[in-house]
Copies of this chain bind each other. A is one copy, B any other.
Amino acid sequence: MYFLSDNTATACPEILEAIAQANQGVAKAYGEDDWTQRLDGVLSSYFGTAVRAFPVSTGTAANALSLATVSPPYGAVFAHEDAHIVRDECGACEFFSGGARVTSIAGINGKLTADALQAVLDAAGTSVHQLEPAAVSVTQATEFGTTYRPQELSALTEVARRYKLRTHMDGARFANSVAVLNCHPGDITWRAGIDVLSFGATKNGALNAEAVVFFNLDLIKDFERRRKRAGHLLSKSRYASAQLLAYIQTGAWLRNAQRSNALAQQIAQVAAHRLLFPVEANELFLKLGERHKHTLRTAGFHFHDWRAASRGDTRFVVSWDQPQDSVDALCDALSKLVD
């Protein structure tokens, strides 16, 4: 019974069906196919505003290309100290930007706050000796499975705007946040001041497909050549775009996210006293201790130790295709743990 990662999940049937449907006849290469050409329209409808959208195959590519587009090589990009771009992308942002610096900021529950951002910006020098504050990146849902509220985002982006920073959202689990907030996708993006979004689909049912979505259309000037020279312009783009279209148009994006969120809530209810963070997406962080970890693993549950592994912290991720019985079994096992 696996709770290791939503990257271990399968692709959902709507996605596979879309690939099969797209696999007919000749399609122009390098994004000039009909599927890719429809992306802007479909995502503009989805977000309720005019956007430009570009498919790529990984979230790291989406993040790094976005940030290289909004930060000069001599720029500083601000992010939570636990953000994926800080901890898990092997310096992709630094590479794509030509040496920008990702500057970490602490924050509870995996969130940046407007105050913390402002304090860092106030302390940052503005002379030629310091990197130029260029962008702030937030993760939605966060690495700790929490979700920013629209007003939290607006407060952050207002600070950003005041200091002339561009704003990026790493939306690897974007759908989970929309689902938990029961809001419009626009409410936590452009209406909250976000310039560019890494719109994740892979973790939530796609095969390997993400989109970079620009709300601020002034920013895309050099995105396309950057993507090409990074090897992220797919020759047979139709297969990525067809996935993204199906993900939106069939409603899979919301269905899948609602399901994994709901299963996470089911677990959260029996483990409420063990939660390290509020459960607001499809991840749970449980303080278990060594004895309980051992009990659960012996019972066949797979999950990751979390950072302070010596203290017995753990991470459980619920996938869109998580078997219901694995969740029931986990709830049962958790409820039987005796402290």
Complex contact A235–B208 (CB within 8 A): yes
Given contacts A87-B125, A235-B58, A307-B123, contact A92 B230 (CB under 8 A): yes
Instruction: Give A142-198 interface residues, CB cut-off 8 Å to B.
Output: none
Bitwise interface map of A from 77 to 103 toward B, beta carbon under 8 Å scored 1, else 0: 000000000011111101111111110
Given contacts A74-B222, A236-B207, contact A94 B90 (CB under 8 A): no
Complex contact A101–B91 (CB within 8 A): yes
Complex contact A228–B90 (CB within 8 A): yes
CB-CB < 8 A to A60: which residues of B?
Answer: 228-229, 231, 233
Complex contact B29–A10 (CB within 8 A): no
CB-CB < 8 A to A76: which residues of B?
Answer: 91
> How far, in angstroms, from A26 to B303 measured CA to CA in the complex?
13
> How far, in angstroms, from A27 to B207 measured CA to CA in the complex?
13
Question: Which segment of A110-118, A128-136, A260-268 sits at the interface?
Answer: A128-136
Question: Which segment of A16-24, A42-50, A278-286 sits at the interface?
Answer: A16-24
Question: Which segment of A1-9, A244-252, A269-277, A289-297 sits at the interface?
Answer: A1-9
Identify A7's interface contact among B30, B101, B232, B307, CB under 8 A: B30
Is A203 an interface residue, CB under 8 A from the partner?
yes
Given contacts A87-B130, A128-B90, contact A231 B98 (CB under 8 A): no
Is A225 an interface residue, CB under 8 A from the partner?
yes
Complex contact B207–A89 (CB within 8 A): no
Identify A207's interface contact among B11, B87, B239, B307, CB under 8 A: B239
Chain B CB within 10 Å, residue with most, of A73, A89, A125: A73
Other A-B pairs beyond A60-B233, A94-B99, 12, CB < 8 Å? A9-B26, A60-B228, A64-B229, A72-B222, A73-B98, A88-B129, A96-B231, A98-B98, A98-B99, A99-B99, A202-B235, A230-B231
- 19 CB contacts below 8 A, A to B, read A4-B28, A8-B28, A11-B239, A19-B19, A58-B235, A59-B235, A60-B231, A73-B98, A73-B229, A74-B90, A74-B225, A74-B228, A87-B130, A88-B129, A89-B229, A94-B99, A99-B99, A128-B233, A208-B234
